[in-house]
Amino acid sequence: MLALGKLLELTLAGREPAEKTQLTVEGVRMRWLSEGALEVRPPEARDNGLDLLLSAGIHGNETAPIELLDRLLHDIARGDLKPRARILFLFGNPEAIRKGERFIEQDVNRLFNGRHEQSSGSEALRACELERLAASFFSLPDRRRLHYDLHTAIRGSKIEQFALYPWKEDRQHSRLELARLRAAGMEAVLLQNKPSIVFSAYTYDKLGAEAFTLELGKARPFGQNAGVNVSLLERSLKQIIEGTEPEMTGEALDGLQLYSVAREIIKHSDSFRLNLPADIENFSELEVGYLLAEDIANTRWIIEEEGARIIFPNPRVKNGLRAGILVVPTTDENLA
C-alpha cells in the first residue's frame, strides 16, 4: 500500500510524508497538501467530472468518521477502490484528534464564513486553512461539487443518523441529493433556513457545492466504534467515488423524515439556564408551553410549536453561540 494512504497515521504522528506525491498502479495520483489534507486525482480518461470533498475530525473526538475515511484511503492506496472522481480528504482538527478532544481552545465548526477572522489562535488559523483548501479544490470550472462533512454527536439521538442541509437565498434544496442521503442511511434531514458558520455552510454558500453535515451516531474513542453503523454510508461513498451509483430519482425519499428550523436558542450570558436533563437525546419532543431556557433580562424560550424537537442542546457553549436548535416536521413541497 502506498505510504500516502496512511494519512491518518501521519496525522496522528504529526509528521510530513517523505514523498508528497505518489501514483497507484492504476494511475491514480495521491498528493499531500498539508497536515491532514490529501488530494486524490483519477487518470484523466477516467475522470467523470465530480469533485468530492470528504471531511472528518472537525471535532477531534469524533472518531468513527475519521476511521471511515481512513478505510477509503487505504482501499484507494491499495488499488482496491478505483476513483473516477477527484477527492479531497480532510482531517479537520489534527491537534484535537491527537489529544482525543472535541477541540483545544474553540470549536472549529463555529469558525467558518468569516468567523475565524474575528478570532485568534491555532483553531482559527486551521478554519482559515480549511476554507483555503476547499476553495482551491473547488476552483475548477464546469464540474459537479459535493461535500460531506462527517460527524458523530456528543449525545444519543432518537434519530441516530441524520443530515443538516445548509441554506442560501434563492437556492432550492435538491430532491436528488436527499435521495442520495436516504440511500446512504440517513433517516432524517434538517433543511436549514438561515445562514450558518459551519464548514458545510461555507462550501454550500461560498463555493457552490452541494454540502451536508452528516451526524452518524454517538462519539466514541478510536477502536470503540462497533456501535456506529456506517455500512450504508460507506457503500454509498464507494459508489460515488467509483461512479457506480444506481440511478437516483427524487421519488426515493420513502421513510426520510424532513425537519425545518423553528428557532435557535442563543446563549447570551453566564446566567443562561437550559431546563433539560443533561442526558436528553437529540430529537426529543417538547410539549407546547414548556419553559425551555432562561437568560438575562427576563429572556425566556417557551415552546409554542406543535411537534417541536430539540437537537444539539449544549448550555456550555460560549456566550453568543447557539445552545440548541428547535426543529419541527416539514414537507418536501419546496424541493427542486
Rounded (to 5) percent helix, strand, coil in the chain: 25, 25, 45
- Residue 3: Cβ within 10 Å count: 15
**Residue 199 to residue 52: CA distance in whole angstroms:** 14
**Catalytic residue status for 215:** yes
**Residue 259 to residue 200: CA distance in whole angstroms:** 18
The grid cell for 152 is 458523530
Pairing of strands 257-266, 188-191: parallel
**Residue 220 to residue 225: CA distance in whole angstroms:** 6
329, HSE (Cβ side, Cα atoms, 13 Å): 7
Task: Name the catalytic one among 215, 234, 251, 304.
Answer: 215
**Residue owning grid cell 417557551:** 302
Nearest in space to 276 (alpha carbons), one of 309, 306, 246: 309
**Residue owning grid cell 487518470:** 43
The grid cell for 223 is 477502536
- Contact in structure between 60 and 93 (CB atoms under 8 Å): yes
Please give the C-alpha separations between residue 220 and each of 66, 81, 127, in angstroms, as whole numbers: 11, 27, 23
The grid cell for 251 is 421519488
Angle at 110 between CA 189 and CA 132, to 5 degrees: 100
State the Cα torsion 188-157-205-182 to the nearest 10°: -30
Assign residue 142 a region: left if phi > 0, alpha if psi is -120 to 50, beta otherwise? left
Q: Where are the beta strands (DSSP E) in 57-197?
A: 86-91, 144-153, 162-165, 188-191
Give the residue numbers marked as catalytic. Answer: 215
